[in-house]
Structure 1
């Protein structure tokens, strides 16, 4: 008998569940030691927190974005002091028989490829790379964090090798700020699905960067700068 009389079935089940999880935790402690078990727990909690924060960042624009909206690099990227560049992703899809027929190959090679196609593979994937990047220098030079124009959204496609899907925005990049010439490797059996470039919704905003807006109108005495540059060059001679 407890304070409120006989325990309910729900109370008993909760107690059994608690004992079960306590037992699992105790086994982890015995197996790995308290410090390692706590480390595993902290990593797990940190992972959950990161995922939730990431989802919140994506939701800032996910439900209100419209076709042809301008997308801007988020403030964290703009103000980050590292040499990191803004990277894009590419959507790929399985090769079809129609794709093979358009290839500039001999008839026998086309027949071989068609015979070996995995027709059960219907899944698109997202490549963790593309042939373009954007540097912070390009954004400040252009006076805007505008990286591209929104075209479509996708929350089903998984990143290659990750097994997880995130919220993606497909966009047409702002050519004024992109650097091209990077190589991409497309997995065997796949081709590019379209001409769009993809970014995670959490990494972009619908508003211009405050850091760029604040520095855009700063002027410099170019004459003094040129004189200083010449003096530095003379000293190096």
Structure 2
């Protein structure tokens, strides 16, 4: 058991804390510890609930959406002034071995150097998988109000095999995406992103995260906002 009994240890910590002012006189280390534990449990349970809600939202949209369905922006953050709109993604892929070999053979370098570079090409299949990156376009929140619609486009196809581009701080895995034909009225464009070395666009589609959209018509929250502005 050591030098102190468990109750004596708590009392000693309380006396030290009260003496040096690290805890209020009416508080105790025991109460503070229990409070911290309760707070930690609350945070964990809350995070699990949010995660479950998001997963249910994604699966609901995924199972109900069909080709050519109109897709609407989610309005859960309608009152959030920091919310700028819906992020659009593009799907990119690395050049394959044949494409890279052709590019190397077209270089103005000695033949031995060409052969050397070709033999060093990465043939790992995992490193050749397509990934998603942020595009130059977004669906602008202000434009939704300007043109009085939250319809961001129509569904073209679903993708459940592609992961977002990993970074040194973010390990990613395959997730669900909707390829859409965007509503051009709502598009806001910035500078085209610089693609990673030896990557090209895999297709001409724009993609959205199912968590950012809703189905079934203009959302009720937007209809209220539109009516109140008239």
Q: TM-score range by the shorter chain?
A: 0.5 to 0.7
- Provide the alpha-carbon RMSD of the alignment: 3.2
TM-score (norm 2): 0.67
Mapping of residues 21-100 of structure 1, within 5 Å: 42-100=42-100
Closer/same/farther in 2, CA of residues 89 and 114 from structure 1, 3 Å limit: farther
- TM-score if structure 1 supplies the norm length? 0.65
- Are 1:214 and 2:224 an aligned pair? yes
Deviations 1:185-214 (A, max 9, x none): 322232221111111111101132223333
How do 1:170-185 residues align onto structure 2 when only pairs under 5 Å count? Answer: 170-185=179-194
**Quick check: 1:126 aligned with 2:135?**
no
SS in 2 for 1:91: strand
In structure 2, the CA distance between the partners of 1:210 and 1:89, relative to structure 1 (3 Å rule), is same
Structure 1 position 137, deviation (Å) = 0.9
Aligned residue in 2 for 1:193 = 202
- Any conservation in 1 of the 2:77–2:83 contact (CA below 8 Å)? no
How many equivalent residue pairs? 187
Report what 1:144 is aligned to.
149
- Structure 2: unaligned runs, 5 residues or longer: 1-32
CA-to-partner distance for each residue in 1:96-123, whole Å, 9 max, x for gaps?
24544787x94347x5875543222232
What is the DSSP-based 3-state SS (H/G/I as helix, E as strand, rest coil) of the residue aligned with 1:213? helix
Q: Structure 1: give runs of 5+ residues left out of the alignment.
A: 1-32, 221-237
Secondary structure, in 3 states, of the residue corresponding to 2:135? Answer: coil
Q: CA deviation at 1:183?
A: 3.3
Structure 1, residues 75-113: CA drift from partner, whole Å, max 9, x if none? 12434322533211111212124544787x94347x587
Q: Contact 2:85–2:140 (CA<8 Å) still a contact in 1?
A: yes
1:144 and 1:39, CA in 2 relative to 1: closer, same or farther beyond 3 A? same
